[in-house]
Structure 1
Amino acid sequence: MQPPLHSEVDNEEESQPSPFAQINEPESTETAQQLEERETATEELATNPFERAIVVASGDTLSTLFAKVGLSSQDVHAVLDSGKGAKQFSRLNVGQTLNFTLTPEGKLATLSTQVSPLETIKLSLVNDRYSFESEQIKPNVHQRYARGVIDSSLFLAADRAGLPHSMTFDLANVFAYDIDFAMDIRKGDEFEVIYEDKLVEGKRVGTGQILAARFTNRGKTYTAVRYVDKQGGASYYTAQGESMRKAFIRTPVDFARISSRFSNGRKHPILNKIRAHKGVDYAAPRGTPIKAAGDGKVVLAGRKGGYGNTIVLQHGNRYRTLYAHMQGFAKGVKTGGSVKQGQVIGYIGTTGLSTGPHLHYEFQVNGVHVDPLSQKLPMADPIAGKEKQRFLQLSAPLMAKMDQERTTALAMNTETAPKL
């Protein structure tokens, strides 16, 4: 076992008289009780475990970290085999700190590490067995307002407004039924968001839900308010209580580029002849997730001629969607199964007759192919009548707060604008 960097036990000699001290040095003034207390404290120090903090470096594994404090591979196995939770210690990140306490005999007494700003995990030796515990810190949740105007992209505008990327995706998902973020976004579009900000000791450790939002696209403004009903179900509604959720989302790939539109007379890039293109192609990097446009039954999850890896979903009696050229299917998606709207069903690829990674997406109504970009989507039910009043009591203050924050933000921008 590697000795500790510092031990007060080793320094006990320093309290003894120096051999060079003069004979007339005054004797110790400690009483018998004080001497006994000091000796007792020294004995307790001698039995305390040694503490070591090791920072994970590039290339480190749990075995190499254990070796740095004098623990063997058998100790590693004992820890990992002690329970399901203990396996979290093997998921390491560079810069992470592992705190070890060892007994004087070199045995692991405790092991702890912070796995996130809100969670610390610890393993303790109790009666020759390791006991796992997770300590969760409850953050303070505050409402925060953000506003942005799109100049080149939603992501850049959101970043300037202080929104993390994950929140930007959430914002796009809230309005995904009304706005096609691959095609509809224009310079000058703007958004406003009231969202949950999670803080620990004044420091941001994450974000929660979008509570309310407004998005102005091509001069038309859409509103959204998050509402949790009495049964615990959460969904987004307009400020008046109409459902934001339609039967289908506008596009099954987030922020992809439309590379080919629906057409009855397109020249096929591989077959080199005029052939109807009965869908829309979304170009995106290989491996980009593809989402189900609506709840449905998986009619096919397999190969389909020139379509390559293909999924076909049946949505009730009238609607059917097709997703082709996929790299692969998401785990659990198979013929005969069912999927939920927004669920990842596969990943962008270039299988079949394809010149590059993209999704070929088709939409059928009563067996007839239609343009999914122009198809009017069926609406979902509005908020239940018995909960309408409760919803409005939540919605009205949020929209008022958004109006107030907007007015303040615009006034501040006016004050700081250069005078002509």
Structure 2
Amino acid sequence: MTARQHRVGLGATTFGLAAALALTGCAPGGGPSGTDEKGTDAASDAAQPHGYVEGAEESAEPQNGLIYADASTGEVHLLDLLSGDTSTLSDGDTKAPTIDALRTDGRYAYASTASTGALSVFDGGTWTVDHGDHKHYYRTAPDAVGVIEGAAGASVASSRTFVAISGAGVTANSILDRAKLDDGSLAANAGLTGAAASAALAVPFGENLITVAGDASDSPAGTVQVHGPDAADLGTLADSCPTPAGTATARTGIVIGCADGALLVTDTSGSFASEKIAYPESLPAGSRATSFDYRPGANYLAARAADNTVLSLDVSDRAWSVATSAAPVRAVTSPGDGSTVLALLADGTLNSYSTDDGSVMTSVPLLAGGASTGADAASGTPSIQLDTSRAYVNDPGARQIHEIDYADGLRLTRSFDTTITPSHLVEVGR
């Protein structure tokens, strides 16, 4: 039996709703200040075990799952990668007529519908809390959370404190309170939402918020400011970011894609600094990074800079590398090993490139029908979702999702059959 013949049929099961409240810190007393992230005295409840999260079950291993959406029908499903079970998330009022894009912050999925201007929010019910020297893995019941109007096409960036919904084409930027979102409510932080109202882009950085001024801002477009959790102005950074697009939370700091390079924002004991990492001279003129794909918690990012160009950014070394493909690139990601970057090509080939010289290290045919995008509503967005051991690629034409062992020559380990077209794909629980 070939690897491709290992298929798991996706049936339909349904989960109920269970609320998961704010996460408590791992330091004695809950966090650096002795309080948990809701501002309560964590030390006053000594009976709670380390890492306790009310309403959620803690597990010894990652509880990863895949959320995928049918672009033409608005259906959204969740595949539990441990059990192989699936659930339907898009019921009733949460079902969109179509879906143009799907994003995630590791727990929640955000489905964008351009025709209605809405952003539908779904709780994947699994997530990881990374404390550097150790991690906690949680599970609760997945469900639909609600709909944010006027946010289609928005950039979504999260911390354990806030979720920033922002972008040049967004009617109204919004900074959601993460603790309330975990409790099932789409409640905005009024002060920070006001601070981000005219921003071209907003990104949470722990308990603070970074904004890049837009054309309608009082500050010159591209000005980068830091705001405290009470919306206080904590200062303007030295570097600007013209035409911001794309963000990443690397281990070193926050990365924002700009027209002239990547802006790295770091925080050392409350002292914020910025550094511009200019694009390499070998990058084709007019090309740039507009989004980043990477393994969460790593310092290596990937971006599709042009039709045939793959960018890789080593955040630690502040260094770019460039690889050129024989066919147009549809999706990219970085495994986080510092030596390779993955790219899915339009002809359906999955390639691994060396970040040292851009050469092809491994190439495997994966999608028989190719990786088309934009030709019709069902084409959706080809994607490579990646965790610490596996990568997942959606195959709309075959109605399958492929699992790849990217550390073993891009070996195909499983293919999951889906009952809807997986036009868009994100991974949760990472």
Query: Under a length normalisation based on structure 2, what TM-score does the superposition of the two structures give?
Result: 0.23
> Larger helix proportion, structure 1 or 2?
1
Instruction: Decide which structure has the larger Cα Rg and report it.
Output: 1
> Larger strand proportion, structure 1 or 2?
2
